[in-house]
Amino acid sequence: MIDDLELAQRAALVGAEIGLRYFAHVRGLPQESKADGSVVTEADHTVEHEVRRVLLDARPEDAFLGEETGEHGRGRRCWILDGIDGTAVFVQGDRRWQTLIALEEDGRITVGVAVLPARGQVWWARRGAGAFVADFDGAVLGEARRLAVRDGREGLSGSGLGIVPPVESLPAARRDLIEGLASAARPREWEWAHAALLVAAGELDLAVQVGGKVWDYAPLSLIVEEAGGRFGGVGGEGHPVEGTALFSRSDDLHRAALALLL
């Protein structure tokens, strides 16, 4: 039996292959609007269904929570999945979309995987074992590279900040929420990967995500923490919850940034 991290990586690569097939013809892919106004496509449903199948075929006793397929079962172990995170950019042909997988055990995230299919990269972490990234070709992973947050000494004024979704796509009320932090730090474009991953890679100091859900945060929170950083909700939650959340390279920077979001 393969271990949980290997299973999550295998499932992520299955999802990547399917997602890329849709992405090759994304301009002609029909779109629908969900109740919250977000975009959903056949690709979202198909990727999530197949990744869920891989996970539950191997772990039939585990529970499951997916953005499109909802809850399946209950128990101390639960797989958390977003088949296509970033559907809004996916349908525009933007390569920053990803598939996110996490395993929660007894209320803690223990495994997190983020695959960027159009970039050919898999990012992952196991609690207590560090965070890594590797290129992939089909189902074959290349050499793993360890991730580490930047060892900066600057305060907020010198810190690079990624904002998710990009500011121009946020409604006015959500822009107001992050205005203080955006004014204090140095907002930067996250051009090739989710801003939280760039914190883990040492390319950004901070990332704030507005209006995210548990499946958006679960794997990314662990990857950033295992790279030496910090994750938390604006209400002080250390566990992924719905709402606005902050990823930081250090405890001091996290506290300073969080004070501007409260």
- Mean pLDDT on 225-250: 92
What amino acid occupies position 209? Q
User: Tokens at residue 214, please?
Assistant: 């548990």
d(C-alpha 126, C-alpha 129), whole Å: 5
Q: Does residue 37 have a pLDDT over 90? A: no
pLDDT digit string, tens, across residues 75-97 = 999 999 999 999 988 999 999 99
Would you state the pLDDT for residue 125? 98
Would you state the pLDDT for residue 115? 97
- Mean pLDDT on 63-71: 94
pLDDT digit string, tens, across residues 131-166 = 999 999 988 899 999 999 999 888 899 999 999 988
Would you state the pLDDT for residue 176? 87
Q: Does residue 122 have a pLDDT over 90? A: yes
Is residue 103 very low, low, confident or very high in pLDDT (cuts 50, 70, 90)?
Answer: very high
Would you state the pLDDT for residue 101? 98
User: Tokens at residue 220, please?
Assistant: 């990314």
Q: Does residue 235 have a pLDDT over 90? A: no
CB-facing half-sphere around the CA of 6: CA atoms within 13 A: 5
Would you state the pLDDT for residue 33? 86
The answer for residues whose C-beta is within 8 angstroms of residue 207's C-beta and 6 or more apart is 161, 162, 163, 164, 190, 194, 195, 196, 198, 199, 246, 247
Would you state the pLDDT for residue 169? 78
**Count of all residues that appear for the chain in the document:** 262
d(C-alpha 126, C-alpha 132), whole Å: 9
Is residue 215 very low, low, confident or very high in pLDDT (cuts 50, 70, 90)?
Answer: very high
Would you state the pLDDT for residue 191? 82
Is residue 232 very low, low, confident or very high in pLDDT (cuts 50, 70, 90)?
Answer: very high
**Among the ranges given (13-22, 139-148, 168-177), the one the predictor scored with the smallest mean pLDDT:** 168-177
pLDDT digit string, tens, across residues 243-258 = 999 999 999 999 999 9
